Structure 1
Amino acid sequence: MSGAAMNGQGTTVKSTSPAVPRWARKSTLVLLIAVLALAVFGTTTQTWLTVKLDPSQLGQAVGSQDGLQVQGSKAATTVTALALVALAGGLAASIAGRVARWIITAIILLAAAGIVAAAVTVLADPLTAAQGSIAAATGISGSNAQVAVTAFPVLAVVAGALLGLAALAIVPAGRHWKSRTRYDAAATGAAGGPARPADEIESWDRLSRGDDPT
Protein backbone atom coordinates (compact mmCIF):
# COMPACT_ATOMS: atom_id res chain seq x y z
CA MET A 1 0.00 0.00 0.00
CA SER A 2 1.32 3.44 -0.87
CA GLY A 3 0.53 6.65 0.86
CA ALA A 4 1.55 10.33 1.00
CA ALA A 5 2.74 12.54 3.85
CA MET A 6 3.79 16.19 4.25
CA ASN A 7 7.32 16.91 5.39
CA GLY A 8 8.39 20.01 7.33
CA GLN A 9 8.76 22.06 4.13
CA GLY A 10 5.26 21.32 2.94
CA THR A 11 6.41 18.93 0.26
CA THR A 12 4.41 15.79 -0.36
CA VAL A 13 6.51 12.66 0.20
CA LYS A 14 5.25 9.32 -0.98
CA SER A 15 5.80 6.32 1.27
CA THR A 16 5.57 2.76 0.08
CA SER A 17 5.47 -0.50 2.01
CA PRO A 18 7.92 -3.25 1.05
CA ALA A 19 6.75 -5.30 -1.91
CA VAL A 20 5.76 -8.88 -1.19
CA PRO A 21 8.24 -11.31 -2.82
CA ARG A 22 6.74 -13.24 -5.70
CA TRP A 23 7.31 -16.60 -4.00
CA ALA A 24 5.56 -15.36 -0.83
CA ARG A 25 2.37 -14.21 -2.51
CA LYS A 26 -0.64 -16.02 -1.16
CA SER A 27 -2.10 -16.76 -4.59
CA THR A 28 1.21 -18.09 -5.89
CA LEU A 29 1.92 -20.41 -2.95
CA VAL A 30 -1.63 -21.72 -2.62
CA LEU A 31 -1.77 -22.39 -6.36
CA LEU A 32 1.58 -24.21 -6.22
CA ILE A 33 0.40 -26.47 -3.37
CA ALA A 34 -2.86 -27.18 -5.20
CA VAL A 35 -1.04 -28.05 -8.45
CA LEU A 36 1.41 -30.37 -6.68
CA ALA A 37 -1.36 -32.10 -4.72
CA LEU A 38 -3.36 -32.58 -7.92
CA ALA A 39 -0.23 -33.87 -9.66
CA VAL A 40 0.19 -36.52 -6.96
CA PHE A 41 -3.49 -37.39 -7.24
CA GLY A 42 -3.16 -37.63 -11.01
CA THR A 43 -0.33 -40.15 -10.79
CA THR A 44 -2.54 -42.51 -8.79
CA THR A 45 -4.99 -42.71 -11.71
CA GLN A 46 -2.21 -44.07 -13.94
CA THR A 47 -0.51 -47.45 -14.14
CA TRP A 48 2.24 -47.85 -11.57
CA LEU A 49 2.94 -51.55 -12.03
CA THR A 50 2.66 -54.02 -14.88
CA VAL A 51 2.50 -57.63 -13.73
CA LYS A 52 3.51 -60.53 -15.97
CA LEU A 53 1.82 -63.76 -14.84
CA ASP A 54 1.81 -67.27 -16.19
CA PRO A 55 -0.98 -67.57 -18.79
CA SER A 56 -2.53 -70.43 -16.84
CA GLN A 57 -3.04 -68.08 -13.89
CA LEU A 58 -4.61 -65.26 -15.86
CA GLY A 59 -8.36 -64.92 -15.99
CA GLN A 60 -10.28 -63.54 -18.94
CA ALA A 61 -10.15 -60.04 -17.44
CA VAL A 62 -6.37 -59.97 -17.58
CA GLY A 63 -5.74 -62.36 -20.43
CA SER A 64 -4.07 -59.84 -22.72
CA GLN A 65 -0.39 -59.88 -23.54
CA ASP A 66 0.03 -56.56 -21.78
CA GLY A 67 -0.32 -58.26 -18.43
CA LEU A 68 -2.08 -56.98 -15.35
CA GLN A 69 -2.10 -53.19 -15.03
CA VAL A 70 -2.04 -51.94 -11.44
CA GLN A 71 -3.01 -48.33 -10.88
CA GLY A 72 -1.35 -46.19 -8.23
CA SER A 73 -4.58 -45.99 -6.25
CA LYS A 74 -4.35 -49.78 -5.78
CA ALA A 75 -0.59 -50.11 -5.42
CA ALA A 76 -0.42 -47.36 -2.76
CA THR A 77 -3.92 -46.80 -1.45
CA THR A 78 -2.97 -44.04 0.99
CA VAL A 79 -1.47 -41.72 -1.63
CA THR A 80 -4.83 -40.69 -3.05
CA ALA A 81 -6.24 -39.73 0.35
CA LEU A 82 -3.06 -37.90 1.40
CA ALA A 83 -3.07 -35.88 -1.83
CA LEU A 84 -6.62 -34.73 -1.11
CA VAL A 85 -5.62 -33.83 2.46
CA ALA A 86 -2.75 -31.71 1.14
CA LEU A 87 -5.05 -30.03 -1.37
CA ALA A 88 -7.58 -29.14 1.31
CA GLY A 89 -4.78 -27.90 3.57
CA GLY A 90 -3.41 -25.60 0.89
CA LEU A 91 -6.82 -24.06 0.28
CA ALA A 92 -7.41 -23.66 4.02
CA ALA A 93 -4.07 -21.89 4.44
CA SER A 94 -5.34 -19.03 2.28
CA ILE A 95 -7.95 -18.05 4.88
CA ALA A 96 -6.29 -19.27 8.09
CA GLY A 97 -4.81 -17.13 10.83
CA ARG A 98 -1.22 -17.23 12.01
CA VAL A 99 -1.59 -20.09 14.49
CA ALA A 100 -3.80 -22.10 12.15
CA ARG A 101 -1.21 -21.77 9.39
CA TRP A 102 1.35 -23.54 11.60
CA ILE A 103 -1.09 -26.40 12.13
CA ILE A 104 -1.94 -26.57 8.42
CA THR A 105 1.76 -26.55 7.54
CA ALA A 106 2.32 -29.54 9.83
CA ILE A 107 -0.63 -31.39 8.27
CA ILE A 108 0.61 -30.82 4.71
CA LEU A 109 4.13 -31.85 5.71
CA LEU A 110 2.84 -35.09 7.21
CA ALA A 111 0.75 -35.74 4.10
CA ALA A 112 3.75 -35.09 1.85
CA ALA A 113 5.94 -37.39 3.94
CA GLY A 114 3.28 -40.10 3.75
CA ILE A 115 3.07 -39.73 -0.04
CA VAL A 116 6.82 -40.06 -0.46
CA ALA A 117 7.02 -43.01 1.95
CA ALA A 118 4.19 -44.90 0.24
CA ALA A 119 5.61 -44.35 -3.25
CA VAL A 120 9.11 -45.33 -2.17
CA THR A 121 7.69 -48.53 -0.62
CA VAL A 122 6.17 -49.44 -3.98
CA LEU A 123 9.47 -48.77 -5.73
CA ALA A 124 11.38 -50.85 -3.19
CA ASP A 125 9.05 -53.87 -3.28
CA PRO A 126 6.70 -53.72 -6.28
CA LEU A 127 5.70 -57.39 -6.04
CA THR A 128 4.28 -56.93 -2.55
CA ALA A 129 2.46 -53.80 -3.67
CA ALA A 130 0.88 -55.75 -6.54
CA GLN A 131 -0.21 -58.77 -4.51
CA GLY A 132 -3.66 -57.36 -3.75
CA SER A 133 -4.40 -56.74 -7.41
CA ILE A 134 -3.00 -60.15 -8.38
CA ALA A 135 -5.20 -61.90 -5.84
CA ALA A 136 -8.27 -59.93 -6.96
CA ALA A 137 -7.66 -60.79 -10.64
CA THR A 138 -6.62 -64.44 -10.33
CA GLY A 139 -7.91 -65.56 -6.96
CA ILE A 140 -4.39 -66.67 -6.07
CA SER A 141 -2.46 -64.89 -3.34
CA GLY A 142 1.29 -65.01 -2.88
CA SER A 143 1.93 -65.59 -6.56
CA ASN A 144 5.39 -65.15 -7.98
CA ALA A 145 5.42 -62.83 -10.95
CA GLN A 146 7.54 -60.38 -12.87
CA VAL A 147 6.59 -56.80 -12.03
CA ALA A 148 7.65 -53.82 -14.10
CA VAL A 149 7.51 -50.36 -12.54
CA THR A 150 6.46 -47.33 -14.59
CA ALA A 151 7.62 -43.74 -14.11
CA PHE A 152 4.55 -42.64 -12.18
CA PRO A 153 5.71 -43.76 -8.71
CA VAL A 154 8.88 -41.72 -9.26
CA LEU A 155 6.78 -38.73 -10.28
CA ALA A 156 4.74 -39.16 -7.10
CA VAL A 157 7.94 -39.09 -5.02
CA VAL A 158 9.14 -35.91 -6.75
CA ALA A 159 5.76 -34.17 -6.47
CA GLY A 160 5.44 -35.23 -2.83
CA ALA A 161 8.88 -33.86 -1.97
CA LEU A 162 8.12 -30.55 -3.70
CA LEU A 163 4.81 -30.45 -1.87
CA GLY A 164 6.64 -30.68 1.45
CA LEU A 165 8.97 -27.83 0.46
CA ALA A 166 6.01 -25.70 -0.58
CA ALA A 167 4.37 -26.38 2.79
CA LEU A 168 7.51 -25.19 4.60
CA ALA A 169 7.25 -21.91 2.72
CA ILE A 170 3.83 -21.18 4.22
CA VAL A 171 5.25 -20.02 7.57
CA PRO A 172 7.70 -17.37 6.28
CA ALA A 173 5.34 -16.34 3.49
CA GLY A 174 2.47 -15.94 5.96
CA ARG A 175 4.23 -12.95 7.50
CA HIS A 176 3.36 -11.02 4.36
CA TRP A 177 -0.28 -12.10 4.32
CA LYS A 178 -2.99 -9.92 5.78
CA SER A 179 -5.64 -11.56 7.92
CA ARG A 180 -9.19 -10.76 6.95
CA THR A 181 -11.34 -11.94 9.82
CA ARG A 182 -14.16 -10.01 11.47
CA TYR A 183 -11.97 -9.60 14.54
CA ASP A 184 -9.32 -7.87 12.44
CA ALA A 185 -12.01 -5.63 10.99
CA ALA A 186 -13.22 -4.72 14.46
CA ALA A 187 -9.65 -3.91 15.50
CA THR A 188 -9.25 -1.68 12.45
CA GLY A 189 -12.37 0.21 13.38
CA ALA A 190 -11.15 0.66 16.96
CA ALA A 191 -7.84 2.05 15.67
CA GLY A 192 -9.64 4.78 13.76
CA GLY A 193 -10.02 3.07 10.42
CA PRO A 194 -13.28 2.35 8.66
CA ALA A 195 -15.33 0.02 10.80
CA ARG A 196 -17.71 -2.53 9.39
CA PRO A 197 -21.28 -2.36 10.71
CA ALA A 198 -21.92 -4.89 13.41
CA ASP A 199 -24.01 -7.84 12.39
CA GLU A 200 -26.48 -9.79 14.51
CA ILE A 201 -23.86 -12.28 15.71
CA GLU A 202 -21.60 -9.48 16.93
CA SER A 203 -24.55 -7.88 18.71
CA TRP A 204 -25.30 -11.11 20.54
CA ASP A 205 -21.62 -11.44 21.45
CA ARG A 206 -21.64 -7.96 22.95
CA LEU A 207 -24.83 -8.69 24.86
CA SER A 208 -23.26 -11.83 26.29
CA ARG A 209 -20.40 -9.69 27.59
CA GLY A 210 -22.83 -7.28 29.24
CA ASP A 211 -22.58 -4.51 26.63
CA ASP A 212 -25.57 -2.83 25.11
CA PRO A 213 -25.02 -2.54 21.34
CA THR A 214 -27.80 0.02 21.07
Structure 2
Amino acid sequence: MAAVLFGIAAFATTTRTWLNVQLPATAVQTPDLAVSGSDAATAVTAFAVVAITAGLAASIAGSVARWIVSVILVVSGIGVAAASWTVISDPAQGAAGAIGQAIGVSGAAGTVVTLTGMPWAALVSGVLIALTGVWLAVASRSWKSSRRYAPAPAAGTAPSAAPGAESMTPGAGSPDAGNNGEGPEPVDDIDSWDRLTRGDDPTNYR
Protein backbone atom coordinates (compact mmCIF):
# COMPACT_ATOMS: atom_id res chain seq x y z
CA MET A 1 0.00 0.00 0.00
CA ALA A 2 2.86 2.37 0.76
CA ALA A 3 4.40 1.69 -2.64
CA VAL A 4 1.08 2.39 -4.35
CA LEU A 5 0.56 5.64 -2.42
CA PHE A 6 4.08 6.90 -3.12
CA GLY A 7 3.70 5.94 -6.78
CA ILE A 8 0.46 7.90 -6.98
CA ALA A 9 2.15 10.84 -5.30
CA ALA A 10 4.99 10.80 -7.85
CA PHE A 11 2.51 10.53 -10.71
CA ALA A 12 0.40 13.37 -9.30
CA THR A 13 3.39 15.73 -9.27
CA THR A 14 3.80 15.29 -13.03
CA THR A 15 0.35 16.82 -13.60
CA ARG A 16 1.44 20.02 -11.84
CA THR A 17 3.79 22.81 -12.88
CA TRP A 18 7.46 22.01 -12.39
CA LEU A 19 9.05 24.97 -14.14
CA ASN A 20 8.06 28.56 -14.63
CA VAL A 21 9.71 30.07 -17.70
CA GLN A 22 9.94 33.76 -18.41
CA LEU A 23 10.92 34.37 -22.03
CA PRO A 24 12.25 37.64 -23.42
CA ALA A 25 9.34 39.99 -24.05
CA THR A 26 10.51 40.54 -27.62
CA ALA A 27 10.44 36.81 -28.45
CA VAL A 28 6.76 36.04 -27.97
CA GLN A 29 3.56 37.86 -27.16
CA THR A 30 3.05 35.75 -24.02
CA PRO A 31 6.47 35.57 -22.36
CA ASP A 32 5.47 33.33 -19.42
CA LEU A 33 5.33 29.53 -19.73
CA ALA A 34 4.33 26.87 -17.20
CA VAL A 35 6.03 23.54 -17.84
CA SER A 36 4.37 20.50 -16.26
CA GLY A 37 6.27 17.54 -14.89
CA SER A 38 5.06 15.29 -17.69
CA ASP A 39 6.83 17.61 -20.16
CA ALA A 40 9.90 18.36 -18.08
CA ALA A 41 10.56 14.75 -17.00
CA THR A 42 8.59 12.22 -19.02
CA ALA A 43 10.41 9.31 -17.34
CA VAL A 44 8.89 10.19 -13.96
CA THR A 45 5.39 9.43 -15.27
CA ALA A 46 6.47 6.06 -16.68
CA PHE A 47 8.37 4.98 -13.56
CA ALA A 48 5.50 6.08 -11.31
CA VAL A 49 3.02 3.91 -13.24
CA VAL A 50 5.39 0.94 -12.96
CA ALA A 51 5.70 1.50 -9.20
CA ILE A 52 1.92 1.60 -8.76
CA THR A 53 1.50 -1.61 -10.74
CA ALA A 54 4.28 -3.36 -8.82
CA GLY A 55 2.82 -2.25 -5.50
CA LEU A 56 -0.54 -3.76 -6.40
CA ALA A 57 1.09 -6.97 -7.61
CA ALA A 58 2.97 -7.38 -4.31
CA SER A 59 -0.26 -8.18 -2.46
CA ILE A 60 -0.91 -11.33 -4.53
CA ALA A 61 2.64 -12.34 -5.44
CA GLY A 62 4.31 -15.50 -4.18
CA SER A 63 7.60 -15.61 -2.32
CA VAL A 64 9.75 -15.59 -5.46
CA ALA A 65 7.60 -13.03 -7.26
CA ARG A 66 7.84 -10.68 -4.27
CA TRP A 67 11.61 -10.53 -4.74
CA ILE A 68 11.06 -9.56 -8.37
CA VAL A 69 8.52 -6.93 -7.32
CA SER A 70 11.01 -5.59 -4.78
CA VAL A 71 13.64 -5.13 -7.47
CA ILE A 72 11.11 -3.42 -9.74
CA LEU A 73 10.13 -1.03 -6.96
CA VAL A 74 13.74 -0.17 -6.21
CA VAL A 75 14.50 0.47 -9.89
CA SER A 76 11.31 2.51 -10.32
CA GLY A 77 12.07 4.62 -7.27
CA ILE A 78 15.62 5.28 -8.42
CA GLY A 79 14.28 6.18 -11.87
CA VAL A 80 11.80 8.68 -10.45
CA ALA A 81 14.45 10.23 -8.20
CA ALA A 82 17.08 10.39 -10.95
CA ALA A 83 14.73 11.97 -13.50
CA SER A 84 13.59 14.51 -10.92
CA TRP A 85 17.14 15.36 -9.94
CA THR A 86 18.04 15.92 -13.58
CA VAL A 87 15.43 18.66 -13.82
CA ILE A 88 16.41 20.11 -10.45
CA SER A 89 20.08 20.28 -11.37
CA ASP A 90 19.43 21.77 -14.82
CA PRO A 91 16.03 23.50 -15.05
CA ALA A 92 16.84 25.08 -18.40
CA GLN A 93 17.34 21.67 -19.98
CA GLY A 94 14.04 20.49 -18.56
CA ALA A 95 12.27 23.48 -20.09
CA ALA A 96 14.07 23.27 -23.43
CA GLY A 97 11.24 21.40 -25.15
CA ALA A 98 8.56 23.87 -24.07
CA ILE A 99 10.78 26.82 -24.98
CA GLY A 100 11.45 25.33 -28.40
CA GLN A 101 7.73 25.00 -29.09
CA ALA A 102 7.14 28.61 -28.02
CA ILE A 103 9.91 30.42 -29.89
CA GLY A 104 11.36 27.82 -32.25
CA VAL A 105 14.70 27.43 -30.48
CA SER A 106 15.54 25.62 -27.25
CA GLY A 107 17.08 28.67 -25.63
CA ALA A 108 17.21 32.43 -25.91
CA ALA A 109 19.14 35.17 -24.20
CA GLY A 110 17.27 36.59 -21.25
CA THR A 111 15.23 33.42 -20.56
CA VAL A 112 14.67 32.80 -16.86
CA VAL A 113 13.64 29.37 -15.59
CA THR A 114 12.56 28.83 -11.99
CA LEU A 115 11.67 25.65 -10.14
CA THR A 116 8.49 24.97 -8.18
CA GLY A 117 8.32 22.53 -5.29
CA MET A 118 6.97 19.70 -7.42
CA PRO A 119 10.35 18.33 -8.63
CA TRP A 120 11.46 18.06 -5.02
CA ALA A 121 8.22 16.29 -4.09
CA ALA A 122 8.78 13.83 -6.93
CA LEU A 123 12.38 13.29 -5.77
CA VAL A 124 11.22 12.45 -2.25
CA SER A 125 8.50 10.15 -3.62
CA GLY A 126 11.10 8.31 -5.70
CA VAL A 127 13.34 7.75 -2.68
CA LEU A 128 10.36 6.47 -0.68
CA ILE A 129 9.34 4.10 -3.50
CA ALA A 130 12.85 2.64 -3.53
CA LEU A 131 12.73 2.23 0.25
CA THR A 132 9.42 0.37 0.04
CA GLY A 133 11.12 -2.04 -2.37
CA VAL A 134 13.83 -2.73 0.19
CA TRP A 135 11.22 -2.95 2.94
CA LEU A 136 9.19 -5.47 0.91
CA ALA A 137 12.24 -7.67 0.35
CA VAL A 138 12.99 -7.74 4.09
CA ALA A 139 9.49 -7.90 5.57
CA SER A 140 7.96 -10.36 3.10
CA ARG A 141 10.27 -13.14 4.23
CA SER A 142 7.93 -13.77 7.16
CA TRP A 143 4.75 -13.59 5.08
CA LYS A 144 2.81 -16.81 4.72
CA SER A 145 2.19 -18.03 1.22
CA SER A 146 -1.39 -18.49 0.10
CA ARG A 147 -2.75 -21.95 0.99
CA ARG A 148 -3.29 -24.46 -1.75
CA TYR A 149 -5.81 -27.18 -1.00
CA ALA A 150 -5.19 -30.67 -2.34
CA PRO A 151 -7.97 -33.26 -2.63
CA ALA A 152 -8.16 -35.35 0.53
CA PRO A 153 -10.49 -38.13 1.67
CA ALA A 154 -13.32 -37.18 3.98
CA ALA A 155 -12.90 -37.70 7.71
CA GLY A 156 -13.60 -41.23 8.88
CA THR A 157 -13.06 -42.90 5.50
CA ALA A 158 -10.41 -45.49 4.78
CA PRO A 159 -7.64 -44.87 2.23
CA SER A 160 -8.07 -46.19 -1.28
CA ALA A 161 -7.40 -49.90 -1.63
CA ALA A 162 -4.74 -51.28 -3.93
CA PRO A 163 -5.74 -51.99 -7.53
CA GLY A 164 -7.88 -55.11 -7.71
CA ALA A 165 -8.65 -55.15 -3.99
CA GLU A 166 -12.30 -54.22 -4.54
CA SER A 167 -12.83 -57.20 -6.82
CA MET A 168 -11.42 -59.57 -4.18
CA THR A 169 -13.35 -58.17 -1.20
CA PRO A 170 -16.45 -56.37 -2.46
CA GLY A 171 -17.66 -53.69 -0.10
CA ALA A 172 -14.63 -53.96 2.19
CA GLY A 173 -12.09 -51.15 2.46
CA SER A 174 -13.96 -49.06 -0.09
CA PRO A 175 -14.21 -45.34 0.81
CA ASP A 176 -17.74 -45.33 -0.56
CA ALA A 177 -18.96 -48.34 1.44
CA GLY A 178 -21.91 -47.69 3.70
CA ASN A 179 -23.33 -44.67 1.90
CA ASN A 180 -25.11 -46.36 -1.02
CA GLY A 181 -22.25 -45.71 -3.48
CA GLU A 182 -22.75 -41.95 -3.46
CA GLY A 183 -19.24 -41.12 -2.20
CA PRO A 184 -18.03 -39.77 1.16
CA GLU A 185 -19.88 -36.88 2.66
CA PRO A 186 -17.95 -33.61 2.05
CA VAL A 187 -16.43 -32.10 5.17
CA ASP A 188 -16.46 -28.48 3.98
CA ASP A 189 -16.74 -26.29 0.88
CA ILE A 190 -13.20 -27.15 -0.22
CA ASP A 191 -14.09 -30.85 -0.16
CA SER A 192 -17.15 -30.11 -2.28
CA TRP A 193 -14.98 -28.35 -4.84
CA ASP A 194 -12.64 -31.34 -4.91
CA ARG A 195 -15.56 -33.67 -5.63
CA LEU A 196 -16.73 -31.36 -8.40
CA THR A 197 -13.22 -31.39 -9.89
CA ARG A 198 -13.27 -35.19 -9.98
CA GLY A 199 -16.59 -35.10 -11.85
CA ASP A 200 -18.78 -36.04 -8.87
CA ASP A 201 -21.94 -34.25 -7.83
CA PRO A 202 -20.96 -32.52 -4.54
CA THR A 203 -24.63 -32.22 -3.53
CA ASN A 204 -25.35 -35.93 -3.94
CA TYR A 205 -24.13 -37.27 -0.61
CA ARG A 206 -27.33 -37.72 1.42
Alignment TM-score, normalising by the size of structure 2: 0.72
The aligned residue for residue 5 of structure 1 is: none
Q: Give me the whole-angstrom Cα distance separating, in 1, the residues matched to 2:106 and 2:95.
A: 10
Stretches of structure 1 that go unaligned for 5 or more consecutive residues are 1-30, 204-214
Shift of 1:137: 1.9
Structure 1 counterpart of 2:98: 133
State the AA in 1 paired with 2:45. Answer: T
Instruction: Map 1:70-81 to 2 at 5 A.
Output: 70-81=35-46
| Separation (CA, whole Å) in 2 of partners of 1:188 and 1:169 | 36
Q: Distance between the aligned counterparts of 1:37 and 1:55, measured in 2?
A: 39
Equivalent residue, structure 1, for 2:18: 48
Q: CA deviation at 1:142?
A: 3.2
Instruction: Provide the identity percentage.
Output: 40
What do residues 5-33 of structure 1 show as CA deviations (whole Å, max 9, x unaligned)? xxxxxxxxxxxxxxxxxxxxxxxxxx211
Structure 2 gaps, min length 5: 156-186, 199-206
Q: Which residue of 1 aligns with 2:179?
A: none
User: Contact 2:4/2:55 (CA < 8 Å) preserved in 1?
Assistant: yes
* Aligned Cα root-mean-square deviation (Å): 2.5
Partner residue of 2:144? 178
Provide the rounded CA distance (Å) in 1 between the counterparts of 2:6 and 2:99. Answer: 30
Number of equivalences: 164
**4+ long deviations beyond 3 Å:** 187-190, 192-196
User: Which of the pair is proportionally richer in helix?
Assistant: 1
Task: Provide closer, same or farther for how the CA distance between residues 136 and 199 of structure 1 changes in structure 2, counting only shifts above 3 A.
Answer: farther
Contact 1:116/1:160 (8 A) holds in 2: yes
1:110 paired to 2:58: no
Which is higher, the Rg of structure 1 or of structure 2?
Answer: 2
Alpha carbons 2:18, 2:40 under 8 Å: kept = yes
Please say if residues 34 and 91 of structure 1, whose CA atoms lie closer than 8 Å, have aligned partners that are also in contact. Answer: yes
Secondary structure of 2:21's aligned partner: strand
